[in-house]
């Protein structure tokens, strides 16, 4: 039996004509009016409904968080804002994060929500932020140290907002789909950049650091950040591929997405994220016990490189040479052909010297670039413009000492333990697959940050929030089933 309200009501000829006229009006406005004239009415037409919708459905803003982070350098609203003596850009991500906080609080009042899940992540995060805040007081680089602390504070807040606002399977699917679709589109852009030889790194910088590899960046400023974005999307797609059964149609779509993402990842020439992706996918196969499919994915990656070699043998040789150079870091140490690897090792040596001089609390947040000249190894190439340590454990040891390093290890342990317990206790295959994906993504980030030290990566903290959000959804689902 079908209720009267369930039956679709035809719009009629007048309604159809009105709809066509509205569409034609919008089309004429887009084609004839300048962006400055067009933007205010669009903002008004979209903004007013959102003011009523977002307090009820704040998770919609996560799509814009993903999108504005993916836009990166192209999403800068104001390029230079003086903030505690440092020049900091205002980006779309900052605006959307502020909106997420405001509408998230509005949602809590709307639902009259007073109870929130207690997660074991709270204490290690508070302690780590406290150590960073204390280190600002003795940092030789106070302006950047304050900005770094505020970034970490905002990103930690993003993690907790994610746990509180993503509350069911539908919302999880919305977030994951948004992430994968954005990543796939920008991966395709990276492939397009490579085919058209439009790369980010200017010739002067390439010559300065001894790099000889062209690297696509999509919409990002840094090819490594672009690669990290793609790494996360690949890991989530592979976790679904290995963790759930899908129809042939969806399987073909999923494989096409993974191939596009892998192609985009290759064009970044980011060794750190190649290795991070490989390790993350390996752990997915361990957690799901699907080693055969893991080997199949490796075979697909090899086939992609083989296909590239047919089109451009030189490009394929660059890919293989770049990947094998990861394992030649120490054998080629000091070689002019391996300046990047050599400098990374020397940055670690400098960080170790800083730690030995200040073992308890370190030299202070963002102190490494300032004090590097004092602790610089004798054989460091002085013409190299970089003064940043690219290894996160070494950076934490140098800047926060053994106290900060111990708290960070505790933080990593808490996330890993929570992730393992989550997927082992889940009965829902979909949520279990995503738990494995988010956990493996966290592992991938640890590998990546061993070479990039990008602890303020937006997606790192966002994925941690998603890991705990999925766990809470699974626990609530199991409790409701037990009551039934």
Give residue-wise pLDDT tens across range 429-446.
999 999 999 999 999 999
Confidence of residue 427 (pLDDT cuts 50, 70, 90): confident
Instruction: Name which of 240-244, 364-368, 410-414 the model is least confident about.
Output: 240-244
Task: Classify residue 419 as exposed, middle or buried by CB count within 10 Å of its CB (0-12, 13-18, 19+).
Answer: buried
Query: What tens digit of pLDDT does each residue of 368-419 get?
Result: 999 998 988 887 777 777 788 889 999 999 999 999 999 999 999 999 999 9
Rounded Cα gap, residues 463 and 458, in angstroms: 9
Do residues 68 and 93 lie in contact, with contact meaning Cβ atoms separated by under 8 Å? yes
CA distances from 206 to 106, 199, 214, 342 (A): 49, 11, 9, 16
Task: Classify residue 227 as exposed, middle or buried by CB count within 10 Å of its CB (0-12, 13-18, 19+).
Answer: buried
| pLDDT surpasses 70 at 202 | no
**pLDDT for the residue numbered 207:** 43
| pLDDT surpasses 90 at 177 | yes
Q: Which residue has the higher pLDDT, 182 or 484?
A: 182
Rounded Cα gap, residues 257 and 103, in angstroms: 32
Rounded Cα gap, residues 377 and 131, in angstroms: 28
**pLDDT for the residue numbered 62:** 94
Do residues 162 and 179 lie in contact, with contact meaning Cβ atoms separated by under 8 Å? no
Across 15-38, average pLDDT: 68
Query: What tens digit of pLDDT does each residue of 179-195 get?
Result: 999 999 999 998 888 87
| pLDDT surpasses 50 at 210 | no
Do residues 287 and 436 lie in contact, with contact meaning Cβ atoms separated by under 8 Å? yes
**pLDDT for the residue numbered 126:** 96
**pLDDT for the residue numbered 257:** 94
**pLDDT for the residue numbered 145:** 94
**pLDDT for the residue numbered 5:** 41
- Nearest-Å Rg of the Cα atoms of the chain is 24
| pLDDT surpasses 60 at 265 | yes
Rounded Cα gap, residues 184 and 193, in angstroms: 14
Confidence of residue 308 (pLDDT cuts 50, 70, 90): low
Per-chain mean pLDDT for the chain: 83
């Amino acid at each position: 039996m079908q209720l009267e309200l369930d039956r679709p009501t035809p719009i009629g000829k007048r309604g159809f004509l009105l709809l066509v006229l509205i569409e034609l009006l919008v089309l004429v406005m887009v084609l004839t009016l300048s962006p400055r004239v067009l933007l205010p009415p669009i903002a008004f037409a979209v903004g007013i409904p959102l003011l009523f919708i977002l307090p009820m459905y704040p998770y919609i803003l996560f799509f814009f968080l993903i999108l504005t982070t993916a836009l990166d350098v192209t999403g800068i609203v104001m390029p230079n804002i003086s903030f505690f003596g440092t020049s900091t850009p205002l980006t779309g991500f900052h605006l959307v994060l502020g909106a997420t906080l405001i509408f998230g609080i509005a949602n809590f009042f709307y639902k009259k929500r007073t109870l929130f899940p207690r997660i074991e992540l709270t204490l290690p995060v508070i302690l780590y932020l406290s150590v960073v805040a204390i280190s600002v007081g003795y940092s030789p680089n106070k302006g950047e140290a304050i900005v770094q602390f505020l970034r970490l504070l905002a990103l930690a807040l993003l993690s907790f907002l994610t746990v509180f606002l993503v509350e069911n399977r539908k919302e999880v699917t919305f977030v994951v789909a948004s992430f994968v679709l954005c990543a796939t589109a920008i991966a395709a852009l990276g492939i397009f950049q490579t085919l058209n030889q439009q790369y980010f790194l200017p010739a002067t910088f390439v010559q300065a650091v001894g790099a000889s590899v062209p690297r696509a960046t999509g919409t990002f400023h840094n090819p490594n950040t672009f690669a990290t974005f793609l790494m996360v999307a690949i890991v989530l797609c592979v976790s679904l591929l290995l963790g759930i059964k899908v129809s042939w149609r969806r399987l073909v779509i999923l494989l096409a997405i993974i191939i596009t993402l892998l192609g985009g990842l290759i064009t970044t020439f980011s060794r750190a994220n190649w290795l991070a992706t490989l390790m993350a996918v390996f752990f997915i196969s361990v957690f799901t016990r699907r080693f055969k499919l893991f080997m199949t994915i490796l075979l697909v990656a090899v086939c992609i490189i083989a296909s590239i070699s047919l089109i451009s043998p030189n490009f394929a040789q660059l890919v293989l040479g770049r990947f094998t150079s990861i394992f030649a870091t120490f054998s080629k140490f000091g070689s002019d052909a391996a300046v990047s690897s050599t400098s990374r090792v020397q940055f670690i040596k400098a960080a170790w010297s800083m730690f030995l001089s200040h073992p308890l609390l370190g030299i202070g947040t963002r102190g490494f670039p300032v004090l590097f000249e004092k602790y610089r190894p004798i054989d460091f190439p002085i013409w190299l413009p970089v003064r940043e340590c690219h290894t996160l454990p070494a950076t934490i040891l140098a800047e926060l000492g053994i106290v900060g390093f111990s708290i960070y290890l505790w933080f990593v342990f808490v996330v890993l333990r929570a992730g393992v317990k989550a997927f082992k206790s889940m009965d829902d295959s979909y949520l279990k697959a995503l738990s494995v994906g988010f956990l493996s993504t966290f592992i991938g980030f640890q590998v990546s940050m061993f070479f990039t030290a990008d602890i303020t990566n937006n997606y790192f903290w966002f994925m941690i929030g998603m890991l705990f959000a999925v766990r809470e959804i699974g626990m609530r689902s199991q409790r409701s089933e037990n009551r039934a």
